[in-house]
Amino acid sequence: MAPSRILVTGGAGFIGSTVIATLLKKSSTQAVLNFDALTYAGNLLSLQEEAKDPRYTFQRASVQNLEEVQRALEDFQPDCILHLAAETHVDRSLNHPQTFLETNVLGTGILLQATSAYWESLPLEKADAFRFLHVSTDEVFGSLGDSGQFHQDSPYAPTSPYSASKSAADHLVRSWEKSFGLPCIITHGSNCYGPKQFPEKLIPLMILQALNGDSLPVYGDGQQIRDWIYVQDQADAIYQAACLGKPGGTYFTGGSQEQTNLLVVETLCRTLEEIGPFVESGFYKKKIKFVQDRPGHDYRYSMDCRKTQLDLDWKPHYAFADGLRETVRWYLNNPAWVKSIQTGEYRQWMDENYGWR
């Protein structure tokens, strides 16, 4: 059943903002509450159009604050929670693990605690229809070799503080479901790309470095493999899981488009040459620089998404080259958004890590 009053945590982030735009396109959506702490990764400029919709409201608050979560639930009376709020960057988790524990583990626990009390207070019919959807990642299953795929019953084997904190959050979700009966769904997404992604992640980082004439830092030999999914496809999958997912269900929302990091960056260089400002042929490719590898760098992720595609009546639509073109075009056409994150913490982080002209 389509949810109608949806509380989205982390709605000012990359995937969350596209999820909110997607929800507001549905006539069944009566109200959306964006519950977001606005960390460095949250940006309200990503929701300028959506903010004009009378069904949309924003509350700046943290999932770590029990009272704020309780108040939001009581005031808003959601029939569905989409939990996306998280610290999400693996490299940051290596340097500053504590915030990952606080947000991803403690924050998820507090959100569950408040949600289950709220859910228990609902009349039977509303309690039956209620869903708590937790957005997790393929990284919780660890790293694969050249062959094989993760399956719904693959064991957890996280390798970074980020993936360990997401794994802990998954376990908390399952424990609330088992102990208290809270109707929970978990989606495991693969590497997402598209407009409005904070440029610490591979694709937006490379786009802005390239447009600035800076080097393109590929970790190690660039042969690690990720499975890429365009953000609209990911948002559609999350929506379908909220509508059709079964309590206790685990859904693999991957793009089924595996590529090495080096190939991704080379394709990006060609796309920029085609649709970006005029440069001589091969200009961007010459900027690729192999730099020190990420510690504990996972080699490959890959999920078998066939069951999810059947269960959720969903499949990704964007071919990687098309999604990449859309993404590059968006960054070229949205200088105000780019400028908003090139100040403050983003700038400092860039200065410390790669230098910024």
Q: Which does 131 bind (CB under 5 to 8 A by kind): ligand NAD, ligand DAU, none?
A: none
Q: What is the dihedral of CA 120, 171, 300, 320, to 10 degrees?
A: 10
The binder of 205, among ligand DAU, ligand NAD, none, by C-beta within 5 to 8 A per type, is ligand DAU
Closest CA to 233 of 318, 136, 302: 318
| Stretch near ligand DAU under the rule CB under 6 A, chosen from 114-122, 215-223, 228-236, 328-336 | 215-223
| Residue 239 annotated in active site | no
Concerning whether 74 is annotated as a catalytic residue, the answer is no
Contact 235, 15 (CB under 8 A): yes
Closest CB 128 distance from ligand NAD, rounded Å = 26
Spatial contact of 325 and 319, defined as CB atoms under 8 Å apart: no
- Decide which of ligand DAU, ligand NAD, none touches 182; Cβ closer than 5 to 8 Å per partner kind: none
Contacts of 71 (CB under 8 A, 6+ apart): none
Q: Does the footprint of ligand DAU cover residue 191 (CB under 6 A)?
A: yes
As a whole number of angstroms, the distance between CA 62 and CA 59 comes to 9
**219 is a site residue for ligand DAU (CB under 6 A):** yes
User: Where in 124-163 is the site for ligand NAD (CB under 6 A)?
Assistant: 135, 137
- Of all residues in this chain, which one has the CB nearest to ligand NAD in the complex? 13
Residue with structure tokens 């949205």? Answer: 334
Residues 166, 224, 265, 308: which binds ligand NAD (CB under 6 A)? 166
* DSSP 3-state of 351: helix
Tell whether residue 138 is a contact of ligand DAU (CB under 6 A): yes
Residue nearest to ligand DAU (CB): 137
- Which amino acid would we find at residue 150? F
For the chain, how long is the longest CA-to-CA vector?
66
Instruction: Let me know if 40 is a catalytic residue.
Output: no
The site string for ligand NAD over 26-65 (x = CB under 6 A, - otherwise) reads: ----------xxxx-xx-------------------xxx-
294 binds, among ligand NAD, ligand DAU, none (CB under 5 to 8 A by kind): ligand DAU
Q: In whole angstroms, how close is the CB of 137 to ligand DAU at the nearest point?
A: 3
Distances (CA, A) of 266 to 47, 83, 113, 210, 326: 31, 34, 46, 12, 16
Minimal CA–CA distance to 50: which of 77, 32, 66?
A: 32
Residues forming beta bridges with residue 36, ordered by sequence position: 60
Q: Which residues bind ligand DAU (CB under 6 A)?
A: 88-90, 137-139, 190-191, 201-202, 205, 217-219, 224, 226, 261, 294, 301
Positions marked catalytic: 138-139, 162
